[in-house]
Amino acid sequence: MTDKRRRRLPRSVREQEIIDAALGVFSKRGYRAAVVDEIADLAGISKPMVYLYLGSKEGLFIACVRRESQRLAAAFREAAQAGDSPEQRLWAGLGAFFAFVAEHRDSWVVLHRQAPEQGEAIAQEIADARRSVMAEVNGLVRDGITKGGEADRLGEQEADFVAHALVGAADSLTDWMERHPGEPPERVTVRLMNVMWVGMRNVLAGEVWAPPQPDA
Amino acid sequence: MTDKRRRRLPRSVREQEIIDAALGVFSKRGYRAAVVDEIADLAGISKPMVYLYLGSKEGLFIACVRRESQRLAAAFREAAQAGDSPEQRLWAGLGAFFAFVAEHRDSWVVLHRQAPEQGEAIAQEIADARRSVMAEVNGLVRDGITKGGEADRLGEQEADFVAHALVGAADSLTDWMERHPGEPPERVTVRLMNVMWVGMRNVLAGEVWAPPQPDA
DNA sequence: AAGTAAACTTACTATAGAGTAAGATTAGGT
DNA sequence: ACCTAATCTTACTCTATAGTAAGTTTACTT
């Protein structure tokens, strides 16, 4: 690829390559089953380098989560900035999300598909990452709900609910996309907006759904 | 609890207790980090019994997945049978789902929150479990989409998409419920129906959402 | 009251894999 | 051409834990 034959690289570069390799292995095997030797091999160096640069397996994992979390948040935020209605911002944000996940599946798996009980530090880091994604979406939904600028009484809890539903749906659709490789991310976005946004909009407009009355 | 002092139990009973214990530990730690000795302790016996009855750690995990998958599917299916409109069936099914997850959080975590790459057999079993949940939901959505009984051209793919979004949303709302312990499962169900069903209904009625035209 | 099979235990073996000690190279700076 | 610091390696140690061998104890049958 970059260069044949064992070539020495400056730390800043090698570190990123190690994290790249780790991302692949963690995503494929999960934290516990991932083997540091394999990561080192993939990065083209030997194990002690990993420990010299990243400190420990845990540190390595945290570095992955942190880097990818920032990348995702950046992609999302940047996309959502453009667009001048809440609707457009949500659309752009979701679009960026699907595009990101389609292109960096490993990142998403490491960020959101890990059993987060591998020690305090890791749990903390993953919780932060999720919170940050959720907060981003939550903000957009809030803007969409509070039409105009009125006081949001229960809008707070409502937005959190919808944000969870949205993020979960998006996560799951990530699998759907894998089984429909033809489908471009934009179409997935449009479809999801069709269900969720239309639902939200109409519910806000007063078209509530209520369970069919049991008897009376 | 049942009886003080080391009491011997027939295999059929002890097996279930082992699976109960395993469910808790697998759910808390994840497959790899779960330690068989801890499971044995929790079940009130020694490790060799686990191996005698369940064969291996893998076998133990598979037994958990199989049992809980069937329980969830049964709860879902039973609830969805009652109700005579697609709408009612979906509502009842989702309700059963949230009730199940609220009561057996461990089961859900083991079924849907594991990195499924711990060997062929496990991947297979988890894939089956997920497929079975998805198929159940897919059926209800399909019935909801094909109003009356007309030929479903793209209804097939469409239902699969909506089913994924629904299951993902429900999964994520599982976390939301943990942070809002006051909220009863029925209200969560109603809220989700409000967003998703209303969205679906209106989209089917022709109220499509389209991205705001970029320029022209 | 044996006899016997099922339920259960103690006390191991074996290995995978995280982490490290001690030093060997190589790239640049002077 | 040397010197030095950064890069990198071989070859370990040591622990955790999956899995098992060889019994021991209890309960049920006849």
Q: What CATH number has the domain bearing residue A93? A: 1.10.357.10
Among chain B residues 29 through 68, which have CB within 7 angstroms of nucleic chain C?
45-49, 52
Is B53 contained in some domain?
no
Q: Is A33 among the domain residues?
A: no
Helices (H) and strands (E) in chain B, counts: 9, 0
Number of domains in chain A: 1
8 A C-beta contact, residue B26 and residue B34 = yes
Q: Is residue B133 within 8 Å of residue B101, measured between CB atoms?
A: no
pLDDT at residue B215 in the model: 57
CB atoms within 10 A of CB B39: 24
Residue B147 falls inside a structural domain: yes
- CB-to-strand C under 7 Å, chain A 20-59: 33-37, 47-48, 51, 56-58
pLDDT value of position B4: 44
pLDDT for res B11: 97
Distance to chain B for A3, nearest Cα, Å: 32
Question: Would A174 be classed as within a structural domain?
Answer: yes
CA angle A110, A116, A119 (to 5 degrees): 115
Task: State the pLDDT at residue A4.
Answer: 43
Interface contact flag, B191 A161, Cβ < 8 Å: yes
Q: Which of residues 10-29 of B touch A (CB under 8 A)?
A: 28-29
Backbone angles phi, psi at B155, to 5 degrees: -60, -35
Least confident of A142-146, A173-177, B75-79, B133-137: A142-146
**Confidence category of residue A118, pLDDT binned at 50, 70, 90:** confident
CB-neighbour burial class of residue A200 (10 A; exposed 0-12, middle 13-18, buried 19+): buried
Query: In the prediction, which pLDDT does A151 show?
Result: 54
Q: Is residue A197 part of a domain?
A: yes
Strand C nucleotides in reach of protein CB atoms, 7 A cut-off: 6-11, 16-22, 26-27
Please give the average per-residue pLDDT across A117-136, as a whole number.
Answer: 93
CB pairs under 8 A between A and B: 160
Residue A37 has pLDDT above 50, yes or no: yes
What proportion of chain B, given as a percentage, has pLDDT over 70?
92
Position B66 pLDDT exceeds 80? yes
Is residue A120 pLDDT above 70, yes or no? yes
Chain A residues in contact with B91 by the CB 8 A cut-off are 211-212
Residue B159 covered by a domain: yes
Q: Report pLDDT for B207.
A: 87
Range of the domain at B171: 65-203
What are the CA-CA distances from residue A214 to residues B78, B83, B96 (Å)? Answer: 17, 10, 16
| C1' of nucleotide C8: residue with nearest CA | B49
List B residues 129-168 in contact with A (Cβ-Cβ < 8 A). 157, 160-162, 164-168
Does residue A118 sit within a domain? yes
pLDDT band at B216 (very low <50, low <70, confident <90, very high): very low
pLDDT digits (tens, 9 = 90+) for B27-62: 999 999 999 999 999 999 999 999 999 999 999 999
A8 touches strand C (CB under 7 A): yes
Considering just the CA atoms, what is the radius of gyration of chain B in Å? 21
Examine residue B43 and state whether it is found in any structural domain, yes or no: no
Using the beta-carbon criterion (under 8 Å), do B165 and A195 form an inter-chain contact? yes
- Dihedral sign for Cα B6, B9, B15, B16, please: negative
Q: Does A80 touch chain B (CB under 8 A)?
A: no
Whether the CB-CB separation of B90 and B193 falls below 8 Å is answered with yes
Q: Residues of A120-151 as b/e, b for ≥16 C-beta within 10 angstroms?
A: eebeebbeebbebbbebbbbbbbbbbbeeeee
- In the prediction, which pLDDT does B117 show? 81
